Chains A and B, each alone.
Chain A
C-alpha cells in the first residue's frame, strides 16, 4: 500500500517537473499554455488519488478523503476553463509567436469578420 502511494506521488512529481521545464523552455505563450495543462492534469491526479488512499488507509478519516476528491474534481473542471479563456484572450489581445504558425485559420476568419 505504501509503495503504491509512493509510486503515485512520484508519477505526479515527474509530470510536474516536465510541465515546469516546459513552461521555462517553450518559446511562446501558446506552447507554454500546453505545458501548463501538463501540470494541471496528471501532475494533480497522482497526488489526489494517492492522498485519498493514504487518508483512508492511515487515518480512516473519510471527511478528509472526500475533501481531497472534491479538490481534484474542482481542478478537473476549472483547468480547461482558465486555459481556454487565457489562450483566447492572449490571441485577441494581439500576442503572436516569433516564428509564425504552420496554419492559422482563426486569424483568417477573424480578419473576415472585421
Chain B
C-alpha cells in the first residue's frame, strides 16, 4: 500500500519546511518549539515507514525520539526560566 509512503514523504517535506523557522526564528523559544514540531513530524514519518515495511523496530526508534524530544524541550524551558 504505497499511500503510506506518500504520507511519510509529505511529513518529511513539512519537517523540512519547519527548518526555515528553526534558522530564522528571532528568539530561542521559537527555535525550541520548531525543533519539537520537527521531532513530532519525523516520528509520524517513522510510524508510516514502519507500517509500510512491516518492521516493528522503527516504532522503538520513534518512541526513543519522542522521549528525547520531550526531555530536551522541558530542559530548554527550565533554562529560559532561569531555574536550571
Contact of A54 among B43, B44, B51, B63 (CB under 8 A): B51
Q: Considering only CB atoms and an 8 Å cut-off, how many residues of chain A contact the other chain?
A: 47
Interface contacts (Cβ under 8 Å), in number, total: 135
Q: B-side interface residues toward A, CB under 8 Å?
A: 1, 3-4, 7, 10-11, 14, 17-18, 20-21, 27, 29-30, 32-34, 36-37, 40-41, 43-44, 47-48, 50-51, 54, 56, 59-60, 62-63, 66-67, 70, 73-74, 76-82
A114 CB → nearest B CB, Å = 14
Contact of B30 among A16, A29, A55 (CB under 8 A): A29
A93 to B84, CA, bound (A): 13
The answer to whether B73 and A82 have CB atoms under 8 Å apart is yes
Contact of B73 among A48, A74, A85 (CB under 8 A): A85
